[in-house]
């Protein structure tokens, strides 16, 4: 099955958020498609810092979500690896929530005002990501399915998963058995690392079962571990950033 050294069935996931991106760039606004957003120089620096922090961690498997910003982040992280790095794979079940009709944000401030508290309604029955977007409850189903699929995969002990803010919030809530609405309390700064351990045991049919989840760390930012000067919520910061 694969397990962390000294354990019989424990696996570890290093769950990252992608580095800093510009959702108001001319390219994004022209295409009316936030999914094409890419890392800024700040985002690349955050990814490099995370890569250095993880450089001596043995990684057996590594995943991005299929969107450019997570693939770029994962590639930079693995490029800093001092050990043999795994082949990067795509896992679309961890992709960001699908939004509804594109909103042509006129400024970063407009975007911040719309988005900053968007995830606080996640636990409300039928709530969607922006108007007409994916239901939070539907997204939770695919994210949970992705986590269970990863944990049932044989032959690994340590994984890197580079995903998105709301996805990571949902994973952390799911790991502790908390309701979906609690996801808004798990802050996820750009380029952050979460560390989750899972104890797996075989069931009567010979499949693996999740016995427990252990959260070892949340929202570590290797570029600034103590969050000095990071006084804004992550969405406030990413949508009201100074131009680079």
Choose between 200 and 106: higher pLDDT: 200
Look at residue 244 in the predicted model and tell me its pLDDT.
47
pLDDT at 106: 65
Residue 1 lies in a domain: no
- Is 215 inside a domain boundary? yes
Task: State mean pLDDT over 43-58.
Answer: 98
Q: Is the pLDDT of residue 1 over 70?
A: no
The C-alpha angle 238, 100, 190, rounded to 5 degrees, equals 20
Give the pLDDT of residue 116.
64
Please answer whether residues 173 and 183 qualify as being in contact, where contact means their C-beta atoms are separated by less than 8 angstroms: yes
DSSP assignment of 183-228: GGGS---TT-EEEEEEEEEE-TTS-EEEEEEEEEEEEE-TTSTT-T
**Which two three-digit tokens encode residue 38?**
């890419």
d(CA 240, CA 44): 18
In a domain, 117, yes or no: yes
Query: Rounded to whole angstroms, what are the CA distances from 123 to 137, 142, 225?
Result: 8, 16, 30
Q: Is residue 4 part of a domain?
A: no
Phi, psi dihedrals of residue 57, rounded to the nearest 5°: -85, 125
Q: Is residue 204 domain-resident?
A: yes
125 vs 1, residue with greater confidence: 125
Q: What is the CATH number of the domain that holds 44?
A: 3.40.50.1240
Residue 2 lies in a domain: no
Q: Taking residues 57-81, what's their average pLDDT? A: 98
pLDDT tens column, 108-156: 677 666 776 777 889 999 999 887 899 999 999 999 999 999 999 999 9
Residue 7 has pLDDT above 90, yes or no: yes
pTM confidence score: 0.94
The mean pLDDT value of the chain amounts to 91
Check pLDDT > 50 for residue 242. no
What's the total number of domains in the chain? 1
pLDDT > 70: what percent of the chain? 91
Q: Is pLDDT of 170 > 80?
A: yes
In the chain, what percentage of residues exceed pLDDT 90? 73
Bridge partners, 195 (sequence order): 14, 217
Q: Can you give the pLDDT at residue 161?
A: 99
- Residue 78 domain boundaries: 10-239
Q: Provide the pLDDT for residue 243.
A: 45
Domain membership flag for residue 143: yes
Q: What are phi and psi of 114, to 5 degrees?
A: -80, -40
66 occurs within a structural domain: yes
Q: What is the pLDDT of residues 175-221, one digit of tens each?
A: 999 999 999 899 999 999 999 999 999 888 878 899 999 999 999 99
């Amino acid at each position: 099955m694969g397990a962390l050294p000294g354990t019989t069935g424990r696996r570890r996931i290093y769950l990252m958020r992608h580095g800093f991106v510009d959702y108001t760039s001319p390219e994004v606004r022209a295409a009316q498609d936030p999914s094409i957003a890419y890392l800024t120089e700040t985002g690349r620096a955050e990814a490099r810092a995370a890569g250095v922090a993880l450089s001596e961690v043995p990684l057996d498997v590594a995943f991005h979500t299929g969107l450019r910003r997570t693939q770029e982040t994962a590639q930079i992280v693995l490029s800093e690896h001092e050990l043999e790095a795994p082949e990067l794979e795509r896992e679309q079940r961890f992709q960001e929530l699908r939004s509804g009709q594109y909103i042509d944000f006129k400024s970063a401030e407009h975007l911040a005002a719309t988005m900053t508290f968007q995830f606080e309604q996640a636990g409300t029955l039928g709530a969607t990501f922006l108007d007409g977007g994916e239901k939070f409850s539907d997204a939770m189903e695919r994210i949970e399915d992705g986590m269970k699929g990863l944990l049932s995969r044989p032959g690994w002990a340590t994984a890197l998963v580079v995903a998105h803010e709301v996805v990571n919030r949902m994973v952390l809530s799911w790991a502790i058995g908390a309701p979906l609405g609690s996801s808004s309390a798990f802050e996820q700064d750009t380029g952050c690392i979460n560390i989750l351990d899972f104890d797996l045991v075989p069931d009567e049919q010979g499949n693996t079962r999740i016995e427990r989840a252990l959260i070892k760390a949340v929202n570590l930012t290797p570029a600034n571990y103590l969050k000095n000067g990071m006084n804004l919520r992550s969405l406030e910061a990413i949508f009201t950033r100074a131009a680079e």
